[in-house]
Each structure stands twice: as C-alpha cells, then as structure tokens.
Amino acid sequence: MPAEWNNAEALGPPSRPEALSASQSQSAAHFAHPSAVLGARTLTGSDKRALLAAWASDACAVEGRPAWRWLPGTPEPVAVDEILRYLKALDREGLH
C-alpha cells in the first residue's frame, strides 16, 4: 500500500458483495496478494482467472483511487496493473 495513504484504515475495502460469488469471497480471504492466487494449488486455472478478474474489476475499486483495487477479505489494496500482470501470466502459462 502506498505510504502516502495515511488514512488507509479509514478507507477499507469496498463493501460490494456483488463483486464476488460466495465461493470466490471465501477463497479471497486466503490470499493477501494476487501472486498467491497464481501459486495456489487448490484452485483450477479457471478459478484463478475468475478470482483475479473479480479483483481487477471496478467493483473492487478503491474510492478516489481508480488505479487501486481492494478485494473484500484481503488486507490491503493492490495496483490494478499488478493484478492484470498476473492475469497475463495465467495466459502465458496456459492456466485458463
């Protein structure tokens, strides 16, 4: 999380339950960062893609910080560009 976000705790993750399905929401709590999703052995390639896509979606956008996403259940926001890099990595590895 950027150091300049002095009030990050006050921001908190978006409270948009429609951003994730029930199973995705349950899975999200296990991953602090998109890199952990990519390495998860318990998820299929399709599950990884769905979770990362949900994380990158506008439904997880941090209010007033359009380049950042905060997936409910995760500890802090992540830059959307970083999430998209992991989605592209799935394509390169053929995990879709």
pLDDT in tens, 48-62: 999 999 999 999 999
Asked whether residue 27 is domain-assigned, the answer is yes
Over residues 2-17, mean pLDDT:
55
Angle, CA 54 vertex, CA 53 and CA 56 arms, to 5°: 65
Residues above pLDDT 70, as percent of the chain: 68
Domain count along the chain: 1
Q: What type of residue sits at position 67? A: A
Residue 68, domain extent: 20-93
pLDDT at 74 > cutoff 80: yes
Distance separating alpha carbons of residues 4 and 39, to the nearest angstrom: 30
> 2: phi > 0 → left, psi -120 to 50 → alpha, else beta; which?
beta
Report which of residues 54 and 96 the model is more confident about.
54
What value does the mean pLDDT of the chain take?
80
Report which of residues 95 and 74 the model is more confident about.
74
- Residue 17: the pLDDT is 44
Asked whether residue 9 is domain-assigned, the answer is no
User: What would the two tokens of residue 70 be?
Assistant: 């905060």
